[in-house]
Every structure is written in C-alpha cells, then in structure tokens.
C-alpha cells in the first residue's frame, strides 16, 4: 500500500513537472548532509561554549599582559578585572585572526567626567581596531565615539546601554583584513557587534586602524594579533571574556 502511494506521489510530481516544463526534482535532491556541523555545548547563561578559549574567568588574568610585556597591574578579584588608571593597556598573550568574541564590562557606579571622559575604555581587535567602551548612559558625546561605535568610523545603530554599575555584554564577530605579501590590502576587516543582545553594528567594513586624529588607513600586519583592552584612565571593569577562532 505504502509503495503504491509513494509511486502515486512520484507520478504526480512527474506529471506536474511535465505540465510546467521543468525537470522533476525530489526534495531529497536539495538536501545537503556533509559536512555535519561539529557539536558544541553552548553553556548556560554566563558560561563559555565548549570550544571557546576563556580569556577571563575564575582563573584570573593569566591570559593577559601589559603591552610592554609586563605582568598585569590592573585589579583582579573574583574573575573581575578593573582598569588601574595610568598602568597602561593590556593585551592577550595569544594572537587571533577571525574571531567570535564575548566580553562583559561595567562602567563605574560613581559617575565622574563627561563625554569621552566617563567610563572610557575599549576593546581593540588585533591591537588596532577599536570597539568603543564608554558610559553612554545619558552622556552625550560624538556619535561615532559613543559606546559600541567603531571609534571614529561607524555610529552604532542604537544606544543599548545599561546604567552605570550594571554589567553589559558585547558579542563581536570579526573578520580580519587580508594583506598580500607586498603589504597591499586584499580584503578589509568587517565587524558585527551586539550590545546587550541588540544588534548595533551589522557587518560594517573597517576603514583601517583606529586613529584619534585624521583619517584611518590600513597598514599591513601579521594575520594574527592580540586583543587589547584600553586604559583610558577610568576604572572600567571586565569579566567573562571568551573567544572562538573562526578560521
């Protein structure tokens, strides 16, 4: 009975195809089974997925150093890392190319300064492409310099800030730039950012290295470079930072 019914369906599809003058196709013909995606345990809220490299967790700041190579002088307590003003930027000991990056940060509860002077830090992809960290809760500054901007390059789509003192998340997908052996740019970098789960940068093209003055431009660099966190003089805190290689 079942075979007859299947034959019937097959014949009906053939008949329809003939009427419409298109080649007959079974649904199975457009099913793709290989490769099978690797199983990754996603982790419950606040946890890194099973294939991530944890850069900041319960083990402290072992994965980090200052950009001069020195031991981290920022404050580390219970998996929370806080900028110690004046000690300088820190970077990962490991280097990265294309990544998915998750980090959580908190602007100081005590509100001091205004504009770019309030809760300023930043995460620099490959040491040079900054996703701005700033207390942009009720704190107007230039739009291409507020929280979740690609500093001086791309304004965030919306302002998804939590108030100071609340933890916030960035989820970043970064495609590194590619350079030819002679240093010419083969393809630019792209970045997507979700701020507290809200899309704020949608696969935007980076124009080059982040610069404070003038126009950004690319300069060739190795395909993998450290991630860097900025000491901008404000006690911004970080926790739960993890990264996944995407190559």
Using CB under 5 A, which residues numbered 106 to 125 contact Mg ion? 120, 122
**What's the min distance (Å) between Cβ of 142 and Mg ion?**
12
Name which of 25 and 67 has its Cβ closer to Mg ion: 67
Q: Specify the residue, 136 or 230, whose C-beta has the smaller distance to Mg ion.
A: 230
Interface of this chain with Mg ion, residues 143 to 172, rule: CB under 5 A? none
CB of 122 to Mg ion, least distance (A): 3
Number of residues that bind Mg ion (CB under 5 A): 3
Between 55 and 83, whose beta carbon lies closer to Mg ion? 83
Q: Which is nearer to Mg ion, 119 or 177 (CB)?
A: 119
Nearer to Mg ion, 48 or 174 (CB): 174
Write out the binding residues for Mg ion, residues 53-72 only, by CB under 5 A: none
Here the contacts of 44-47 (C-beta below 8 Å, separation 24 or greater) are 46/240
Closer residue to Mg ion (CB): 52 or 149: 149
Q: How far is the CB of 240 from Mg ion (least distance, A)?
A: 20
HEC string of the chain?
CHHHHHHHHHHHHHHHHHHHCCCCCCHHHHCCCCCCCCCCCCCCCCCCCCCCEEEEECCECCCEEECCCCCCCCEEECCEEECCCCCCCEEECCCECCEEEEEEEECCCCCCCCHHHCCCEEEEECCCEEEEECCCCCCCCCHHHCCCCECCCECCCCCCCCCCCCEEEEEEEEECCEECCCCCEEECCEEEEEECCEEEEEEEECCCCCCCCCCCCCCCCCCCECCEECCCCCCCEEEEEEEEECC
Pick the piece of the chain touching Mg ion (CB under 5 A) from 14-22, 81-89, 94-102, 227-235: 227-235
Please identify, among the stretches 16-24, 78-86, 93-101, 225-233, the one whose residues bind Mg ion according to the rule CB under 5 A.
225-233
- The residue range among 49-57, 58-66, 179-187, 222-230 that interacts with Mg ion, by the rule CB under 5 A, is 222-230
Binding residues (CB under 5 A) for Mg ion: these are: 120, 122, 230
């Amino acid at each position: 009975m079942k075979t007859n019914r299947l034959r019937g369906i097959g014949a009906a599809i053939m008949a329809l195809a003939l009427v419409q003058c298109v080649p007959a196709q079974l649904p199975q013909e457009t099913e793709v089974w290989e490769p099978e995606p690797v199983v990754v345990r996603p982790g419950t809220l606040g946890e890194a997925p099973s294939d991530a490299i944890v850069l900041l967790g319960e083990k402290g700041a072992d994965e980090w150093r200052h950009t001069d190579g020195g031991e981290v002088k920022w404050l580390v307590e219970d998996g929370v890392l806080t900028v110690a003003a004046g000690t300088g930027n820190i970077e990962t000991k490991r280097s990265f190319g294309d990544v998915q990056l998750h980090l959580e940060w908190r602007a100081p509860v005590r509100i001091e300064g205004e504009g770019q002077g309030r809760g300023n830090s930043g995460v620099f992809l490959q040491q040079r492409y900054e996703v701005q960290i700033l207390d942009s809760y009720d704190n107007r500054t230039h739009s291409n310099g507020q929280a979740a901007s690609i500093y001086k390059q791309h304004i965030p789509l919306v302002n998804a800030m939590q108030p100071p003192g609340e933890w916030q998340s960035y989820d970043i997908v970064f495609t590194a730039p590619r350079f030819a052996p002679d240093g010419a740019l083969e393809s630019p970098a792209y970045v997507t950012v979700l701020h507290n789960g809200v899309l704020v940068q949608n696969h935007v093209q980076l124009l080059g290295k982040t610069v404070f003055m003038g126009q950004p431009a690319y300069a060739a660099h190795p395909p993998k470079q450290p991630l860097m966190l900025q000491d901008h003089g404000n006690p911004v805190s970080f926790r739960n930072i993890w990264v996944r290689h995407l190559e």
